[in-house]
Amino acid sequence: MANKLKESRKFGWALIGCGNAGRTHLRGAQTTPNVEIIGFCDVNQVSAQRFASDIKESYHTNDPSDIFNDPRIDIISIATSHSTHADLAIGALRAGKHIWLEKPMAMTKRDCIRIKEVLDSSGKKMMINFSIRFSGAARAIKDRIKSKVSHGQCMMKPADLTQWRWDPKEGGGPLYDVGVHALDFLCWIHDAKPVEVNAVGGQVTHPDQFGESGLVDTVAATIRFNDDSVSTFLMSDAGSNPVVSKWFFEFYDGEHSVVLDEHFSRARFSNGDVVMPPPIDRLPLLIEAIQNDTEPYVSAGAGMVATELVEKIALSIHTKSPQRIEFAD
């Protein structure tokens, strides 16, 4: 898929959430033709001001309504804490804006449904920022493999529990932060819908830190898809191994296999091919969907399935029983 944008007026763009993830969105806007960077918003006005200071004639605010109500803005990137995604996305859609939404789509299935209902009635486009899908190596795997059996993992160094990502309400822990990327990618390469998950784990590495919040720091799960293909998924901050990269995936189609590693930048196929193509630009894919009135490269449907998988993995751990994925029905 080439990033070939039609010649058109400039698309006004703004960012809500001026942190590390916001930097990724800003770089995407800076390198995309026909994009005019207009505004920055963050609850911490100093952060918003820092972003705006690098962009001539942009402004900063701590009030999202300033961004929503600016008629010059067509596309809003939302890169805030996970718990705020639903309300901000709904506010942006109701204001008539297209959205580039940082993962996860939302923290609950119910909030995903809320977003989707407003999205469907708005006539606007929304793309989820599942990073692995934009990897050149990952896209090479998608072109060559439809997986029947797979394994995906994210093994991390012991976490800094003071980060908002580990707050049970604000961030939800590593399942919502990194696990959701891996789960979406497994679904994408299987090209099938997950129908059942069975998981063990819980608060393994931090057993006395989060009480009865339900936060999960460690997962070992099996996933069954609607074509009877299967996957295993492993995630923890129990430690990393220098021999195996933090992100590691294996896919088998019955005849061929492939490994994705090196922070999802390298694909090693069983026939000896090793490919490391560059990643694809992200924001142009959303603009193409807007211009052509087509489904964005990473759709709301994918975001909904990934969030439900996260919820059902946690529920399976806590109930010690398999859970059905209803969005696949």
> What type of residue sits at position 258?
V
Q: What is the mean pLDDT of residues 81-105?
A: 98
209 and 233 Cβ atoms separated by less than 8 Å: no
176 and 166 Cβ atoms separated by less than 8 Å: no
pLDDT for residue 208: 82
Q: How confident is the model at residue 9 (pLDDT cuts 50, 70, 90)?
A: confident
Could you tell me the two tokens for 97? 């804006």
* pLDDT tens sequence across 50-67: 999 999 999 999 999 999
Q: Is 2 a residue whose pLDDT tops 50?
A: no
Q: How confident is the model at residue 1 (pLDDT cuts 50, 70, 90)?
A: very low
- In which residue ranges of the chain is CATH 3.40.50.720 found? 11-131
Residue 83 and residue 61: Cα distance in Å, rounded? 20
Q: How confident is the model at residue 218 (pLDDT cuts 50, 70, 90)?
A: very high
* pLDDT tens sequence across 115-126: 999 999 999 999
Mean pLDDT of the chain, nearest integer: 95
Q: What is the mean pLDDT of residues 70-77?
A: 98
Q: Is 329 a residue whose pLDDT tops 60?
A: no
pLDDT for residue 4: 56
Higher pLDDT, 214 or 234: 234
Q: Is 269 a residue whose pLDDT tops 70?
A: yes
Query: Please, what's the b/e burial string for 21-38 (b: 16 or more CB within 10 A of its CB; e: otherwise)?
Result: bbeebbebbeebeebbbb
Q: What is the mean pLDDT of residues 276-296?
A: 98
Could you tell me the two tokens for 74? 């067509």
pLDDT for residue 241: 84
Residue 71 and residue 239: Cα distance in Å, rounded? 48
Q: What is the CA radius of gyration of the chain?
A: 20
pLDDT for residue 214: 86
Q: Is 89 a residue whose pLDDT tops 90?
A: yes
75 and 92 Cβ atoms separated by less than 8 Å: no
Could you tell me the two tokens for 255? 């005849």
- CATH dotted code for 135-281+308-328: 3.30.360.10
* pLDDT tens sequence across 183-213: 999 999 999 999 999 999 999 999 988 888 8
- In which residue ranges of the chain is CATH 3.30.360.10 found? 135-281+308-328
pLDDT for residue 212: 83
- CATH dotted code for 11-131: 3.40.50.720
Q: Is 219 a residue whose pLDDT tops 80?
A: yes
pLDDT for residue 240: 86
CA distances from 184 to 31, 134, 309 (A): 26, 12, 9
Percentage, residues of the chain above pLDDT 70: 97
Q: Is 242 a residue whose pLDDT tops 50?
A: yes
Q: Is 5 a residue whose pLDDT tops 70?
A: no
pLDDT for residue 3: 54
